[in-house]
């Protein structure tokens, strides 16, 4: 739980953060949760404790003014996420990611810009920077999604380096798992899964992306919410953006990121929108052993974060400060 006094000291009252306002009843969307503000600094928010990725993204976001806005936004998203994809210690993304039950690391990712363009890859093997390949799909093809062998062939054609993503540590963990071979998703596993990252520049332009190796020891061919536009990620530069993490099947069935943005379009602040979207998941599914977390940014720079269970943390970075915060939860 975040102390309100501590948070405003860190970030200042100019940063709009609806999640600080408690729900009037546990699990019920709060009706009064917006702090009026004019926020004109750059902002990066990401799932889990990805402050390093945020710092990289923010540096790019505040790059040369002459750069095209869309290019700068996408570079910020891509380079921030690349840093996580290249970290073998992060077992849920890119190099060293959790394998499926057959021992293969398969990746999903998508990216969206301020102009409504989007690109995605799913069931990708052999290439660590799934977010970069998703961007190439957006920029170099007439399609939105490439999958499996086709995505890998496209990555090779684009000059990406093929490699074995199963590290020694992940291989040992897989061998240990094979002794019983029981598949059971775990809530907040290692306090992270999926890197979802949203950026907003000082003019209010938005972009976002997400990348993941998916559920550990999933069935071969399983694809989660991360590469699906409107499920794992959605950006509408007129309204706001949202990204999801957690059990993708639950997010897919509700198109949670799209729902959050549409609720913001209707006038809900991002915190309230995240709460309503999580409440809908809870009401329609058995969530006892399942976690979903949502983060969002509005066009005006308001932010929101909410989850089913306690333990979902996110990183919030501005020109002045950066911190790991824990979201409010429904349960």
Domain harbouring 195, CATH code: 3.60.20.30
Which pLDDT belongs to residue 104? 96
Cα 16 from Cα 5, distance rounded (Å)? 14
Q: What is the side-by-side strand order in the sheet with 328-329?
A: 233-236, 240-246, 292-298, 303-307, 328-329
Cα 250 from Cα 290, distance rounded (Å)? 9
Q: Cα angle vertex 237, ends 214, 111, to 5°? A: 25
User: Could you tell me if residue 172 is inside a domain?
Assistant: yes
Catalytic-labelled residue, pool 17, 194, 212, 245: 194
Which pLDDT belongs to residue 206? 98
Residue 194 is among the residues annotated as catalytic for this protein: yes
**With contact defined as beta carbons under 8 Å apart, do 255 and 230 qualify?**
yes
User: How big is the chain by its Cα radius of gyration, in Å?
Assistant: 18
Q: Quick one: DSSP state of residue 126?
A: S
Torsion-angle region of 217 (φ positive above 0: left; ψ -120 to 50: alpha; else: beta): left
User: Could you tell me if residue 205 is inside a domain?
Assistant: yes
Cα 325 from Cα 73, distance rounded (Å)? 24
User: Could you tell me if residue 286 is inside a domain?
Assistant: yes
Cα 283 from Cα 46, distance rounded (Å)? 26
User: Could you tell me if residue 19 is inside a domain?
Assistant: no
Q: Looking only at Cα atoms, what is the longest distance across the chain?
A: 57
User: Could you tell me if residue 7 is inside a domain?
Assistant: no
User: Could you tell me if residue 207 is inside a domain?
Assistant: yes
Residue with tokens 């950026």: 199
Structural domains of the chain, count: 1
| Domain extent for 194 | 48-329
Which pLDDT belongs to residue 79? 98
Cα 263 from Cα 261, distance rounded (Å)? 5
User: Could you tell me if residue 318 is inside a domain?
Assistant: yes
User: Could you tell me if residue 3 is inside a domain?
Assistant: no
For residue 161, count other CB atoms closer than 10 A to its CB: 10
**With contact defined as beta carbons under 8 Å apart, do 168 and 54 qualify?**
no
From the number of C-beta atoms within 10 Å of its C-beta (0-12, 13-18, 19+), residue 253 rates as middle
pLDDT 10s per residue in the chain (331 long)? 333 323 333 333 334 343 343 333 444 444 343 333 346 889 999 999 999 999 999 999 998 877 788 999 999 999 999 999 999 999 899 999 999 999 999 999 999 999 999 999 999 999 999 999 999 999 999 999 999 999 999 999 999 999 999 999 999 999 999 998 887 666 665 434 799 999 999 999 999 999 999 999 999 999 999 999 999 999 999 999 999 999 999 999 999 999 999 999 999 999 999 999 999 999 999 999 999 999 999 999 999 999 999 999 999 999 999 999 999 999 9
Polymer length in residues for the chain: 331
């Amino acid at each position: 739980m975040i102390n309100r006094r501590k948070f405003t000291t860190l970030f200042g009252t100019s940063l709009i953060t609806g999640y600080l306002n408690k729900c009037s009843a546990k699990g019920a969307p709060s009706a009064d949760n917006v702090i009026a503000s004019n926020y004109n600094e750059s902002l990066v928010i990401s799932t889990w404790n990805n402050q390093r990725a945020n710092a990289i993204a923010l540096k790019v976001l505040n790059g040369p003014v002459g750069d095209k806005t869309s290019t700068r936004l996408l570079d910020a998203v891509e380079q921030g996420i690349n840093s996580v994809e290249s970290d073998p210690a992060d077992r849920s993304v890119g190099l060293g990611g959790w394998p499926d039950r057959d021992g293969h690391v398969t990746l999903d990712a998508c990216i969206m810009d301020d102009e409504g363009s989007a690109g995605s890859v799913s069931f990708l093997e052999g290439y660590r920077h799934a977010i970069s390949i998703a961007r190439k799909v957006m920029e170099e093809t007439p399609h939105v999604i490439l999958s499996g062998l086709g995505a890998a062939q496209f990555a090779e054609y684009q000059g990406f380096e093929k490699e074995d993503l199963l590290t020694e540590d992940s291989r040992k963990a897989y061998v240990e798992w094979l002794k019983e071979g029981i598949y059971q998703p775990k809530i907040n596993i290692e306090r992270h899964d999926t890197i979802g990252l949203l950026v907003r520049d000082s003019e209010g332009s938005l972009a976002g992306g997400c990348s993941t190796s998916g559920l550990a020891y999933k069935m071969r061919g399983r694809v989660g919410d991360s590469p699906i536009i409107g499920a794992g990620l959605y950006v509408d530069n007129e309204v706001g953006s949202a990204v999801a993490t957690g059990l993708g099947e639950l997010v897919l069935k509700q198109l949670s990121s799209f729902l959050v943005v549409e609720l913001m379009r209707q006038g809900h602040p991002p915190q309230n929108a995240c709460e309503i979207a999580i409440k809908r998941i809870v009401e329609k599914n058995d969530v006892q052993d399942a976690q979903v977390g949502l983060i969002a940014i509005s066009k005006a720079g308001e932010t929101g974060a909410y989850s089913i269970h306690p333990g979902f943390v996110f990183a919030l970075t501005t020109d002045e400060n950066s911190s790991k915060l824990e979201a409010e939860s429904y349960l």
